[in-house]
A and B are shown apart, each in its own frame.
Chain A
Amino acid sequence: AQKVTQAQTEISVVEKEDVTLDCVYETRDTTYYLFWYKQPPSGELVFLIRRNSFDEQNEISGRYSWNFQKSTSSFNFTITASQVVDSAVYFCALSEGDTNAGKSTFGDGTTLTVKP
């Protein structure tokens, strides 16, 4: 069975601070995918990034960066110089390849509030 844990339920920062959202996962598969999705106050779910289990390279996209470490089963997400528009619920998710339609298991989400 697969499991995703986001230990931080809520985080509050002041604008321009850096913030890291933690994600720890469990899976028995050797082939899997990890994701981050964003849910802004408007409610829609927006895909941010996907990593596969064979690619441990960290990734940076503008103010966003992701650190994938198989040794600790973690896929953490850092926002640099946070902005008010980053306020949202962020979900980490895990999908086990094509097994069972590649269904994704989500963490409980981290609510990020960025104050001006």
Chain B
Amino acid sequence: DAGITQSPRYKITETGRQVTLMCHQTWSHSYMFWYRQDLGHGLRLIYYSAAADITDKGEVPDGYVVSRSKTENFPLTLESATRSQTSVYFCASRDRFGVSPGSGANVLTFGAGSRLTVL
């Protein structure tokens, strides 16, 4: 199915463990993003990528690692999870010219979210 999918949708882990959240999009969008959503903070950008092998830090990158070896995949890894990383994580993508789903330049299409709990 076309779209942007995140996995797992729900994850419970323990402090200190490594966790990887997967994001896959089928549109060949150039740009992909990871946001986290916490009560009172809206959506904050963790990392983003303009193309395969090009990634950059967002507003809150500490404790996270990303990679983008293929255009369609943008995994987010918590190398040593902490309780403060308990959050809902959203992956998003957009194409450069706004001609695919999303209706217009810079419009983001989001995945369904991954709810992560760190005990």
Partner of A100, one of B35, B56, B92, B96: B56
A43 close to B107 (CB less than 8 A): no
A106 to B36, CA, bound (A): 11
Chain A contact-residue range equals 20 to 34
Is the beta-carbon distance between B88 and A43 smaller than 8 angstroms? yes
Total residue contacts A-B, CB cutoff 8 A: 69
Q: Select which of A43, A50, A101, A106 is within 8 A of B49 by beta carbon.
A: A101
Residue among A97, A104, A107, A109 having the largest count of chain B Cβ atoms under 10 Å: A104
Kindly state the separation between the CA atoms of A71 and B19 in the bound complex, as whole angstroms: 46
Instruction: Count B interface residues, CB 8 Å.
Output: 31
Interface secondary structure of B, over-half rule: strand
Judge if B26 is at the interface, Cβ distance under 8 Å: no
A49-66: CB near B (< 8 Å → 1, else 0) gives 010100000000000000
Interface residues of B in 87-119 (CB under 8 A from A): 88, 90, 92, 94, 96, 102-110, 112-113
New A-B contacts (9) at CB < 8 Å, excluding given A45-B92, A109-B42: A50-B106, A50-B107, A98-B96, A101-B33, A101-B50, A103-B58, A105-B59, A106-B35, A108-B42
